[in-house]
Amino acid sequence: MPSFGNGRRVAIVAGVRTPFARSGTLLKDYTAIDLGRFAVAELVQRTNLDGRLVDLLVYGTVLPSVTAPNIAREVALLPHFPRTLQAYTVGRACASANQAITDAADQIALGHADIAIAGGAESLTQVPILHSRGMSDVLVAASKAKTMAQRLGILARLRPRDFVPITPAIAEPSTGETMGQSADKMAKLNAISRGAQDRFAVRSHRYAAAGTADGRLGAEIVPVPHARGAEPMIATDNGIRADSTVEQLAALKPVFDRQYGTVTAGNASPLTDGASAVLLMSEDRARALGYTPLAFIKSYAYAAVDPGEQLLQAPVLAAPVALARAGLTLRDMDLIDMHEAFAAQVLSNIKGLASAAWAARAGFSAATGDVDDARLNVLGGSLSIGHPFGATGGRIVTTVSNELARRGGQFALLTVCAAGGMGHAMVIERT
C-alpha cells in the first residue's frame, strides 16, 4: 500500500467547523481567532481528546490580523492545551487550510509528531484596513518627534488624500486581475456558458440544502453563541438557498465584465466568515487511543500556473500527480470534491481533467479522465455553503471524510484552486 513520508499512515480522525455565514451577518462580531477557538475547542471536546497529547497545531488564514499575525498560536492558547504547544500559521491563499493539513500530516509521516490539529479561519467582515502611505509616513515621523510643537508640525503635512484607507483587494499583484475577472476569462477560454454556470450554482444550493435538511452538514458544525446573547445558537450556514432557481440567477447582471461577462453574484462564492479544524494522528497512535479513523491521507500534490493565464486552473495539474502518487485513477474515486470558487472555475477544471493537452502539461500521456457528476460535490460546495478563505480546505476534508464513511466508499479526490495560480489535490482512503 503506497504511502508518503517514511511509511507512517496519517489518519483523519475527526473534523468540525463553525457555521459559515456571509460576511457582515451572523458572525460579524467575531474575529478569525475567536472562530478558530470555537472550532478547535469543540474538536477537542467531541473527540474527548486530552489536549496534553497534541504535539502540533497548524492553522491557515489569508488576511491575518496585523496585531496577531500568528493565529495558530493564539488558538493554541486555549485552556485545553499546555502553553508549550507548538503552533504556527501558514498561508496559501484559498488552499491555506489544505497547506496546514499537509504540513501537519508531513510531521506525523516523518515521525516528528503523533497528534496534530490543523485547519484555518477567516473573518471577511473584520478585514485589516491599512493607512495610506502618506498617512503612514507622517505618523511614523510624528512618533519620533521630540516635542509637541514638532509633532503638530509634522501632522500638519497631512492632506485629504492621505486619509483614504487601503482595503484588501482580491486581485493578483502580478497582473492586477481580480479572481472574478479571471473566472470570466476562463469561461470564455473554455467555452463555459452563462447557463451552464447558473445551472451548476443551483445544483450546489440544492445539494447543500438537502445535506442540511437530513443532518449530514449539521453533524460537522459547531454551534456558536450570538455575540450579543441572543438565542438560539448559530448552528446552520446562512448562504444556502434551497429555493434558488436558474431563472432567478439568469436575471442577475454580470459583476466583473458588465458588457460581455458571465460571472455574477449568483454563480460566484460569497464572502464568508468561518473556521474549521481537523484532528490528525499516526495510525498507531489513533488505534492505541481507541479512535476509529474516518479516513487516511493517501497522497497529495500542489501545482501552479502563470497567474496571467488561467488563474484557477492549477488543480488540473495537481490532480493527476496526486492520483499517480496514490497509484490510482479518477475512475477509482468514489467521491470527488472540487472547491467552488466560481461555477466557471469548477466547470473549467472539469474540462481540464478531461483534456489530454492539460495532462501533457502535468507530464502525463493521457487525460486524467471524465468527472462523474453523480460523485461530484454531493453535498454542494463553496457556491452555496460559503467560502471563508482560510477555512474552506478544512471544511472540504471534513465533509468528504464523513461522507465517504457514510457511503462505505474507499477513495475520494479533493481539489482546491487558489490565488496566485496555485492548486491542490489530495487523495484520501477509507480502510
Q: What is the pLDDT of residues 182-233, one digit of tens each?
A: 999 999 999 999 999 999 999 999 999 999 999 999 999 999 999 888 889 9
Q: Please state, as a whole number, how many other Cβ atoms lie within 10 Å of the Cβ of residue 73.
A: 17
Average pLDDT of the segment spanning 102-122: 98
Question: Would the pLDDT of 123 be above 70?
Answer: yes
Look up cell 479571471; give the residue. 182
Round to whole Å and give the CA distance between 336 and 354.
14
Burial of 292 (0-12, 13-18, 19+ CB in 10 A): exposed
Q: What is the mean pLDDT of residues 13-36?
A: 98
Catalytic residue among 80, 339, 417, 424: 417
Whether 417 is catalytic: yes
Cβ–Cβ under 8 Å, residues 21 and 27: yes
CB atoms within 10 A of CB 178: 18
Domains of the chain, residue spans: 10-126+271-429, 133-163
Q: Which CATH number fits domain 10-126+271-429: 3.30.1300.30, 3.40.47.10, 3.40.50.880, 3.40.50.720?
A: 3.40.47.10
- Dist. CA 65–CA 129, nearest whole Å: 10
Give residue 240's region: left, alpha or beta (phi > 0; psi -120 to 50): beta
pLDDT at 431: 86
Neighbours of 360 (CB within 10 A): 12
3-state secondary structure of 106: helix
Segment 136-154 mean pLDDT:
91
Active-site entry in 80, 94, 205, 339: 94
DSSP state of 252: S
pTM: 0.94
d(CA 99, CA 94): 10
Catalytic residue among 80, 205, 339, 387: 387
C-alpha angle 318/323/288, rounded to 5°? 110
pLDDT attached to residue 2: 44
For residue 226, count other CB atoms closer than 10 A to its CB.
13
Distance (Å, rounded) from C-alpha 81 to C-alpha 51? 5
